[in-house]
Structure 1
């Protein structure tokens, strides 16, 4: 999980690694690059699981969630290359248990976790997650 500042009222927002796609880059290539940039981990992108529309001011994005397998690397605080020194929004990177993620207030974690009561539930999400979904939690 990657912690960002500058999002939400508490200035804390945890979410899976991710980011934008460069022109001529595939979604799988972008995912591999973003994981390495943000976490130091080399991953292999697998099957598409679901799509989520993320609307959390100041961001609005269409997110593609894939299964990933860690191939190597060491987890470390990464960076957002679009941000210059002193304006980095990534403040922390951590491998977390599902229980750790759920211990944060709902407004401090990606909303995909609001729809799940266990880690296994994440792997059952399919299709398009609209911003109007109701939560199980």
Structure 2
């Protein structure tokens, strides 16, 4: 959706679209999606990605924003899994009040990469529909 009139947006939750994924990682604002907005489930999906990939303390105006998922990337998978699940659930509970986390799954993709899947649903949703956000942790070689 491309619009210049913010007063006539169909949804009250929106944000600029981040650029497409490059090598499994979002590369931030870039010209490939300039002027596009994400709304509804895409907005929440993007917020989840931002919250979970932002290390705590890296935002100078909100030092408590984000999560500590990055601390557990080099742990053995069986040791990292409960920490990643806890960090993801706690960060999303604090920073994304529009959703309820249903399940967080962590699995080994490669020797140097983990896949984290967050299953969530809207708190005030009429339907019991759940959505999934896939997140790559670490670097696949």
Structure ID, larger Rg: 2
TM, length-normalised to structure 1: 0.30
Higher relative helix content: 2
